[in-house]
């Protein structure tokens, strides 16, 4: 338990960040109309590509001879980047169709 208290106090800022981001996320996304739920999902696919940042840092910190970790990192970047590029492009493609047209 001591361990847990210590963890809480040491990481107070990140815990605040978590709490506020969760609230903010719910607040913003509840405002998205049903018409846009599919683009919202594909757009959030792209955003969940943030994992690519972790994969980039992993590769940068790996010894050039550690091929196992390098391949893991390489795979991570490819997977994350498919999400990022694919997600943003397909969302844009969809949103382009949602233009207001006169009757």
Site for another protein in 46-65 (CB under 8 A): 46-64
Interface with another protein, residue 9, by CB under 8 A: no
Interface with another protein, residue 2, by CB under 8 A: no
In whole angstroms, the minimum distance from the beta carbon of 85 to another protein comes to 3
Instruction: Write out the two tokens for 79.
Output: 């997977």
Interface with another protein, residue 12, by CB under 8 A: no
Cβ burial of 69 (10 Å; 0-12, 13-18, 19+) is middle
Interface with another protein, residue 7, by CB under 8 A: yes
Per-residue three-class SS string for 64-95: CCCHHHHHHHHHHHHHHHHHHHHHHHHHHHHH
Interface with another protein, residue 5, by CB under 8 A: no
């Amino acid at each position: 338990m001591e361990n847990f208290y210590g963890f809480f106090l040491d990481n107070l800022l990140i815990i605040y960040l978590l709490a506020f981001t969760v609230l903010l996320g719910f607040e913003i996304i509840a405002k998205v109309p049903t018409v846009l739920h599919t683009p919202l999902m594909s757009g959030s696919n792209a955003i969940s590509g943030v994992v690519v940042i972790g994969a980039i840092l992993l590769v940068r910190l790996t010894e050039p001879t550690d091929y196992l970790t390098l391949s893991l990192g390489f795979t991570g970047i490819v997977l994350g980047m498919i999400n990022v590029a694919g997600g943003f492009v397909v969302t844009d493609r969809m949103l382009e169709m949602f233009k207001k047209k006169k009757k």
